[in-house]
Structure 1
């Protein structure tokens, strides 16, 4: 793998998983030293991350893109437009076998009251499979491209609720309703259930945003979180 690819993958993973926090400076020299590469591949990686919307330029300094209340509101406004339409199309064109399995997964997860680390990972893996199933079902290349770009940012937003088992159980129940509506080819219910889920998700993320960005999470000059409470 090229050095620029390695740098991009490493920085992207750190940003998406909150090891690099919003607003953290990304000085080329320091990042290059930490990753064990030269400045050129770091510069290329930062350029790609900026195109992804994960890095912003502030004068001569690159920083991790913000994820404050205003950004989240705009993100979820876009989600409502794209995800509700995607749910409609998925209900119209779905593979029933795929969504039957997802329905069963979410039915099981929604009955849980506690989540181990492995169970949390299993929940997010099910959400990823659900997103992929909808993307695969819609049969619309333009909408697929827009959804993929959007979901990069959703990974960061989802991490905010990672330590909230009650919200994970409710989210699983919400996904269950959407999956059942898609299976039944009820386009209206699929879109409406998606809108309800998005509203609940935004409320939860807004409530947990402040603790997630508390002072104890501020890391090194690179912005790497040193607390175990990364999410």
Structure 2
């Protein structure tokens, strides 16, 4: 054995790279509902063979972010039942996840990335930059999730948050909605700075409830839901 030898760093497998690329495009709305995604075309665009594309598409479909449509995959249009189901899960897991990091975030150093993302969101809102605001909210989520000690919980949060993230542009173009979102992020950050897990969880639950109401109204589903009247 040679003591000085260390494991070499290996690049992500092609399937993993394609998966993350497509997931990023789904996140930022560059792939829209109903747009067909075909193996051959994607492989040509990405400069890879069809196998890693097929792996990535099937993985995204298993997460509910895509559905099979014969010979291609598409982004599904969410129904009111879909929205209710997704938020039921988010209401259960995200408050618990944010509560789990409150014992760490009294440290200014550990919460710096959270506060930096919050500041970026505030600047984008002031500049009427909806895209910048959306990107800052993703950074905010990524920052606090990076402190969650349970990796399985992190993956579940990411999966179901991404179901909504890809269509957040429908709500974040609206200045009033951005104001509400920013207020929620501020409440969460204040609770985390105080190390108050219960208040952080309550703030997250309220924040998610407001996000759900804004989305339902933005896509015109409110008339289908008597609770939204």
Following the alignment from structure 1 to structure 2, what is the Cα–Cα distance between the partners of residues 95 and 186?
9
Taking the TM superposition and a 5 Å limit, the aligned residue runs for 1:137-156 are 137-156=147-166
Q: How far does the alpha carbon of each residue in 1:128-166 deviate from its partner, in whole angstroms, 9 at most, with x for none?
A: 333233223332233223223333324214232231122
> What does 1:22-37 align with in structure 2 at a 5 Å threshold?
22-32=33-43
Q: Which residue of 2 aligns with 1:180?
A: 190
Which runs of structure 2 are paired with 1:1-231 in the superposition (5 Å)? 7-32=18-43, 39-97=50-108, 98-99=110-111, 102-103=114-115, 106=118, 114-117=126-129, 120-210=130-220
Partners of 2:38 and 2:73 within 8 A in 1: yes
> What is the deviation of 1:113?
6.4
TM superposition score normalised by structure 2? 0.72
Q: Which structure 2 residue ranges, 5 or more long, are not aligned?
A: 1-11, 222-229
Judge conservation of contact 2:38–2:71 (CA < 8 Å) in 1. Answer: no
**TM-score where L is the length of structure 1:** 0.72
Report SS of the residue matched to 1:161: helix
Aligned residues: 209
Partner of 1:62, secondary structure, is strand
RMSD: 3.3
Greater shift, 163-172 or 96-105, is seen at: 96-105
* Distance (Å, rounded) in 2 between the aligned partners of 1:32 and 1:15: 17
Deviation at 1:195, TM superposition (A): 1.0
- Give the superposition deviation at 1:93: 3.1
Query: Which is richer in helix?
Result: 1
- Gapped regions of structure 1 (runs ≥ 5): 212-231
Contact 1:103 1:176 in 2 (8 A): no
What is the DSSP-based 3-state SS (H/G/I as helix, E as strand, rest coil) of the residue aligned with 2:62?
helix
In the aligned structure 2, how far is the partner of 1:141 from the partner of 1:8? 19
Contact 2:122 2:182 in 1 (8 A): yes
3-state SS of 1:57 partner:
strand
Structure 1 residues 145 and 61: CA distance shift in structure 2, 3 A: closer
